[in-house]
Structure 1
Amino acid sequence: MNNMAPNLRHLRAFCVVAAHQSISRASEEVFLSQPAITQAIAKFEQAFDIELFTRRTDGVFITDAGKLFLVRAERAQEFIRTGIEEARRIAQVKSGKGFSNLDQLVSGVQLRALIAIAKTGNFSLAARHVGISQPSLYRAARDLERLSAMVLFRKSGQGIELTPAAEIWARYAKLAFAELRQGYTEIEEYKGIDVGRIVIGTMPLARTYILPTAITRITQTRPGVEISVIDGRYEDLLHGLRYSEIDILIGALRNPPPIDDVVEEKVFEDELALFVRVDHPLTRRKKITLEQLAGYPWITPREGSPTRTKFEELFAKRQHARPKSLVEASSLILIRGLLMDSDRITILSAHQTRHEQEQGLLVQLPFDLGDTRRPIGLTTRRDWHPTAAQAEFLDALRVAGGVMN
């Protein structure tokens, strides 16, 4: 069920039956025959392997499992409607053009085609991604343009690219399908089966203690849950979060958040410090000057990162030329190797180097950087509704982060 392209008309029928407690009423509203609706519900129940409605002489009544899926189905349909509205707004579609009930006309295959083209930039690759022939995918894509009265695709030097309207529509379509996958997971959880996958986007600081601790805790209580950790630049991870490819982003917070469709939650505060190998020449000095720091080679984060900004400010505010020999790196393993084999200095989180300090590999230099406190925490989509397992993992992250305070 979670990997299938859903029949959106059947999904709507499911919701209407739940609202009216009547298949005949639903038949009139969604323009499907009563046998077709009955068969659609039966397919859902077969896919979930659980009863979604109780049939009685006075109507059909949704079960507890059905209520779980109903929430997700309604949210998915709302994402589809919002995606259409936003796409029309961006494309400046005039009133009267296209179908006013477009959300009831588009199919799951058409939206899957839209998402696949956005991902691959190629009709052939998109067809393989969806699992249909190229002519079928091309037809689905062009039907979507015809129904919506919008230009969705255009040729580029790299292949096929989406227009801005299509991009936003594809994003909301992905959110809709993610919602249905959440519904599948919740029903399995209701049946007592640990399934599902939690995808975490992580920045360097969280990888040494908070994340391993939280993962260990959740896998002890829910051994069937799959955990996927994605490392990367903040901008890439944020994109994945907003497009439902990532569930939770953990690391240094941006204040204010860079966009209003995500929310941030501080878990603890971190401070930066200067680190070197234990037998570095500067460790023998009780007082260290900026001039002495500038005389050694450094390892810095990439430009644009908050820590790199602190490094630049360290020398700029004191009107001193910064060190000439710089290596940009974000991998703690690489940074540790460079520090151990040279006289380089780096600016890092004290928490991030916790294990290296305990093992006697790295030491903090006695140099006052001023106020370098920064909030570390969780970033999630504003409209995200976690499953029970995801909510437990959030709690595990909060508990692990609380130890750092």
Structure 2
Amino acid sequence: MPAPSADLSLLLRVRPRQLMLLALLDTQRNLGRAAAAMNISQPAATKLLLQLEDALDERLFERLARGMEPTAYGEVLIRYAKRVLTDFGGAREEMQALRSGLHGALRIGSVPGAVPELLTPALIEYRRRHPQVAVSVVVETSDVMLAQLGRGDVDLMLGRLTDGHSAEEFSCIPLLDELQVVVVGAGHPVLERASVTLEDMAQWSWVLQPPGSPQRVRFEAALREAGIHARLNITETASTIVTTALLEASDMAAVMPASLAAHYARLGVLRVLPLELPVRVPPVCLITRVDRALAPVAIHFRRLLAGEA
């Protein structure tokens, strides 16, 4: 829907340098440092900010003795400024890709558990069909990835909606629902036992995802439901590489999606314990932003991914 004429008139008064200044002020919280980062004088930066505040008829920053703090209005416009700058950077990447003979850039986010069964086969086929697309993949937990998707740092993601995010913001298509399992290194002493329980494993150190991740929340709930209240010795990381390295080199344990655990078991790196883990997490979804249309390169990957699933 076209923007009202009043908004268009106001938008014409907003300059890219002002948006850049807002983004820098959000990180620097100091007008002098922000001006230096833009290679302009502090009076020039002050003028840019005052002109923007005058155009919007709102105070965007509070001038304090030791810096500047955004007002509620400033925080709204800072988010807009960052989206504009991120979108422009993405457009420049696609233009550079076209100049170098490619046909665009695709930025994918994924939780570790989606890599073996969803991302890998879809990405291999996508690269076969579209070898001229520049593809980058970021692997993180769902909460971190949703923030990146919201900022426009990735085009789409494989993960789960977490608390504070709703279907009004994101489109979520379920693709993979799988069990969580307990894994240890191939030489772990517990493998010598005929049977093992969750209570047995409480004595060992654990590698777990950071607090707030769906897997961690449900694992801790499972411990409480099993009557296990012992304080676990926990190392926190969202990195699968760190997790597997720690399991290989120690007697620690971890929780993994079944497909990811099976991948490392085939490589002889880890072993899955014959332990029924009462941990169910929501299915891995293909998540995109509702308010932002996908570029053609992302649309083709979404179709292929849904087909693979």
Q: Check whether TM > 0.5.
A: yes
8 Å contact kept, 1:287–1:366: yes
CA distance in 2, matches of 1:327, 1:269: 26
Say if 2:69 is the partner of 1:154: no
Q: Post-superposition shift, 1:399?
A: 4.1
Q: Secondary structure at the match of 2:251?
A: coil
Q: CA RMSD in A?
A: 3.6
Say if 2:43 is the partner of 1:116: no
Q: Post-superposition shift, 1:377?
A: 1.7
Higher relative CO (Cα under 8 Å, sequence separation at least 6) belongs to: 2
Task: Report matched runs for 1:13-92 at 5 Å.
Answer: 81=7
Q: Which residue of 1 aligns with 2:78?
A: 170
Q: Which residue of 2 aligns with 1:6?
A: none
CA distance in 2, matches of 1:378, 1:263: 8
One-letter code of the match for 2:31? F
8 Å contact kept, 2:108–2:157: yes
Identity, in percent, stands at 25
8 Å contact kept, 1:296–1:323: no
8 Å contact kept, 1:277–1:361: yes
One-letter code of the match for 2:285? G
Distance 1:376 1:188, change over 3 A: same
Distance 1:123 1:334, change over 3 A: same
Q: Which residue of 2 aligns with 1:142?
A: 50
Q: Which residue of 2 aligns with 1:377?
A: 285
Range with greater deviation from structure 2 (229-238 or 323-332): 229-238
Task: Report matched runs for 1:93-242 at 5 Å.
Answer: 101-127=9-35, 130=38, 132-155=40-63, 159-176=67-84, 194-208=102-116, 210-232=118-140, 234-242=142-150
C-alpha offsets along residues 311-344 of structure 1, whole Å, 9 cap, x if unaligned? Answer: 2122211222335432222222222122223322
Q: Which residue of 2 aligns with 1:63?
A: none
**Out of 383, 386, 389, which is 2:297 matched to?**
389
Q: Post-superposition shift, 1:388?
A: 0.8
**Out of 233, 244, 254, which is 1:336 matched to?**
244
One-letter code of the match for 1:240? Q
Q: Secondary structure at the match of 2:259?
A: coil
CA distance in 2, matches of 1:219, 1:130: 39
Task: Indicate the structure (1 or 2) with the bigger Cα radius of gyration.
Answer: 1
Q: Secondary structure at the match of 2:177?
A: strand
Distance 1:271 1:128, change over 3 A: farther
Distance 1:128 1:210, change over 3 A: farther
Q: Which residue of 2 aligns with 1:327?
A: 235
Distance 1:257 1:106, change over 3 A: closer
Q: Secondary structure at the match of 1:110?
A: helix
8 Å contact kept, 1:295–1:323: no
TM-score (norm 2): 0.81
Give aligned pairs, total: 308
CA distance in 2, matches of 1:157, 1:304: 36
Structure 2: 5+ residue runs without aligned partners? none
Q: Post-superposition shift, 1:234?
A: 4.0
Q: Which residue of 1 aligns with 2:261?
A: 353
Q: Post-superposition shift, 1:134?
A: 4.3
8 Å contact kept, 2:10–2:56: yes
C-alpha offsets along residues 209-263 of structure 1, whole Å, 9 cap, x if unaligned? Answer: 5334444443443344333333445444333322223322322333783573223
Task: Report matched runs for 1:294-333 at 5 Å.
Answer: 294-322=202-230, 324-333=232-241
TM-score (norm 1): 0.64
Distance 1:367 1:354, change over 3 A: closer
Q: Secondary structure at the match of 1:139?
A: helix
Q: Post-superposition shift, 1:200?
A: 2.9
Q: Post-superposition shift, 1:164?
A: 2.0
One-letter code of the match for 1:154? E
C-alpha offsets along residues 70-112 of structure 1, whole Å, 9 cap, x if unaligned? Answer: xxxx88x68x94xxxxxxxxxxxxxxxxxx9423432333233
CA distance in 2, matches of 1:243, 1:105: 24
